[in-house]
Amino acid sequence: MSTELLIEDHGTTASEFDVETGRALTLLMCPPKLYDVHYVINPWMRGNLGKSNRERAMRQWQRLHDVLARLARVVLIEPVAGSPDMVFTANAGLARAGVVALSSFFYRERQDEEPAFRRWFEEAGYHVVDVARATPFEGEGDALFSADGTRLWVGFGTRTSVESHAALRGLWDAEVCSLHLVDERFYHLDTCFAPLSDGSVMYFPEAFDAASLAMIEQFYMPEQRIVVSEADALRFACNAVNLDRTIVLNCISDELAMTLRERGFDVVQVELDEFLKAGGAAKCLVMRLTPELHSGHSESGFSAEDLIAIEDLHGAHNYHPLDVVIEQASGAWVWDVEGRRYLDCLAAYSAVNQGHCHPAILRAMVEQAQKVTLTSRAFRNEQLPLLLRDLHELTGYAMALPMNSGAEAVETALKAARKWGEVVKGVAHDRTEIIVCANNFHGRTIAIVGFSTDAQYRAGFGPFPAGFRNVPFGDIDALRAAITPQTCAFLVEPIQGEAGVIVPPEGYLREAARLCREHNVLLIVDEIQSGLGRTGKLFAYQHDEITPDVVIVGKALSGGFYPVSAVLSSREVLGVFQPGDHGSTFGGNPLACAVARAALKVIVEERLAERSAELGAYALARLQQMRSRHVVSVRGKGLWLAIELNTAARPLCEALRDRGVLCKETHETVIRIAPPLVIGKEDLDWGLERIERVLQED
């Protein structure tokens, strides 16, 4: 199988965590910065001396890391000089409940790793237990707990000595069971034996002696045993990372993959043949840790309370965030500095439609950042023309003008419309007018808040630029009445997000487009929040089968990695700009363009618009069936939903936070539901269940 990353479901899966504390399973990994095969301590290394490819190993390791980071919290240890096998962190030790039995390596070649691992565990707060040098023990590579935690299976015969097993007895409340390994190819227990979360075991019988097989068969009933073929065993199929209902492993046969899926597992295959040269695969590259010891403080050393106090002291108070301090995120999940896991149901106001820290976008950003990040528009760069081409091919618009923030793109569209009004339509100088809608939200600049109908947005910031008319959103008659010969544009959100995910009446945009054509008025659609898959179409205007004159995009255009926005239009409209009319030092920079190109590719290749349509319809139907005395209505389109309440929304958002779901109120009585579009149905159900539970409480 040549594909390097095969994922059965593109949605993120609920990570394994302690149900009571909500603490995420934590894994230890070490990047293969020093990985090499330059000695022989197992049969796999024979014939591979000097044949390892560190660059390819890094790519394969990164893919494994990216997959696991969507399922659990991953922490890293840096390799030390002279330790090329330190990447195989499963051999660092065996950790459980804050105690770690430190490895005592059999071969001298790996013994220099021990002090580095000891320092790391001690600094993390573990109680470190030493195993005597005379009785080698090679950590989690040779010691695996059963799913229920009552039994600790420990291998011996090739690396770990049977005498070391005595040191493990008494450390944890588990029966230690010794398994004799008799095939040198399977020199660690985790290369041929994998207890799974459903109580079954995946193993290669020929790797054990008769007594050990009898012990395995006594503990596991026939229906609990998954026997792998020699071909799969040699691919290290048993060297699998099992997190709840997901199994991550090297490429395996279709037959074994089907067997695992039939047992209810999601099977994620990541090609790891570069590590097979040294006798390792997925499980060898990972060690399980005690979650509680990796929480409470951020990497900066400050607690959540400390960080909130520092922010309140030194930051302007222009936001009122929920008091959760996020330290890490992946897919649809985020973790706070105390290690608690939350389902993100805001997606940074649709900026992370592709999920947090999407690996493909991250790779594009890192690769470009290592080449050139900024040239300014004084010079050309390689990435800008490619982004402009990609936007044209995806949307059909002839031209684009890239900016940074969404507000900048709106200002750009307003300038383009006004100049078009004078130069093309022939409106008298400084007499152009733009129609906007009540309860709009297009950003925070002076011009934009000047035509807002929200009193707080305007208070104290006047005087404001003239030339804007307000009409009620969704009222086509009001729009018709507001158009004059001086009208150059109508600026509208296809769905009003900040106002509370307000969906206009059926056919409103279609009729608005007709009116604009009739009166030679530009229809400008602000798709900053609604676009790029959020409502179940690439753009929300496509639900009305129209083609606006101007489209404004942002937020998900970068997948949350970098501020990138753009105005899309025809040559007639954007062609009014001449050199010097408009610009931005950072707009169209190569880093932004590389990120945006990768972000667009993810939306298309992972069919996120289609995913939003399917899961959004499901979530809307489910929430509309909910019975709660607090709920007035539920509305939305795609995975962009709103729950209108008859009470304050803030306390309910705080209650949801305490149950592991992050939502945000708007306009006092509305809760928005807008998770990353990569969310899996299982995770969506997990979140919806908690939303229902909170709203149905008295």
Residues 283-302 pLDDT 10s: 999 999 977 666 555 556 67
The closest of 690, 679, 678 to 622, measured between CA atoms, is 690
Q: Are residues 454 and 598 in the same domain?
A: yes
From the candidates 283, 419, 425, 555, which is the catalytic residue? 555
DSSP state for residue 278 in the 8-state scheme = T
Whether residue 398 is contained in a domain is answered as yes
Packed helices 359-369 and 590-605: angle between N→C axes, nearest 10 degrees: 160
What was the pLDDT predicted at 339?
Answer: 73
Band of pLDDT at residue 72, cut at 50, 70 and 90: confident
Is 145 an annotated catalytic residue? Answer: no
What was the pLDDT predicted at 338?
Answer: 77
Looking at 587, 605, 623, the residue that finishes a domain is 605
Q: Is 521 left (phi over 0), alpha (psi -120 to 50) or beta?
A: beta
Task: Tell me if 407 sits within 8 A of 445, measured CB to CB.
Answer: yes
Whether residue 300 is contained in a domain is answered as no
Band of pLDDT at residue 24, cut at 50, 70 and 90: low
pLDDT, average across residues 674-689: 94
Q: Are residues 465 and 612 in the same domain?
A: no
Whether residue 566 is contained in a domain is answered as yes
CATH number for the domain spanning 575: value is: 3.40.640.10
pLDDT exceeds 70 at position 11: no
Cβ neighbours around 415 below 10 Å, total: 17
pLDDT exceeds 50 at position 3: no
Whether residue 305 is contained in a domain is answered as no
Instruction: Please tell me the total number of residues recorded for the chain in this structure.
Output: 698
Q: What is the pLDDT of residues 501-511, one digit of tens each?
A: 999 999 999 99
What was the pLDDT predicted at 301?
Answer: 66
pLDDT, average across residues 234-243: 96
Is 419 an annotated catalytic residue? Answer: no
Q: Are residues 482 and 497 in the same domain?
A: yes
Task: Tell me if 557 sits within 8 A of 598, measured CB to CB.
Answer: no
From the candidates 193, 441, 473, 561, which is the catalytic residue? 441
pTM for this model (two decimals): 0.69
Question: Rounded mean pLDDT of the chain?
Answer: 92
Band of pLDDT at residue 337, cut at 50, 70 and 90: confident
**Identity of the amino acid at 44:** W
Band of pLDDT at residue 73, cut at 50, 70 and 90: confident
Q: Are residues 398 and 490 in the same domain?
A: yes
Q: What is the pLDDT of residues 599-640, one digit of tens each?
A: 999 999 999 999 999 999 999 999 999 999 999 999 999 999
The closest of 19, 42, 171 to 106, measured between CA atoms, is 42
Whether residue 156 is contained in a domain is answered as yes
What was the pLDDT predicted at 495?
Answer: 98
CATH number for the domain spanning 624: value is: 3.90.1150.10
CATH number for the domain spanning 231: value is: 3.75.10.10
From the candidates 85, 336, 526, 683, which is the catalytic residue? 526
Looking at 550, 585, 605, the residue that finishes a domain is 605
Q: Are residues 345 and 364 in the same domain?
A: no
Say which residues have a Cβ less than 8 Å from residue 632's Cβ, sequence separation at least 6.
Answer: 644, 645, 646
Q: Are residues 29 and 126 in the same domain?
A: yes
- Could you give the percent of the chain with pLDDT greater than 90? 85
Is 637 an annotated catalytic residue? Answer: no
Whether residue 304 is contained in a domain is answered as no
C-alpha to C-alpha distances, 299 to 276, 566, 580, 616, nearest whole angstrom? 33, 35, 45, 36
**Domain span at residue 494?**
359-605
**Identity of the amino acid at 649:** A
The closest of 107, 133, 90, 123 to 39, measured between CA atoms, is 107
Rounded Cα distance between 492 and 451, Å, is: 12
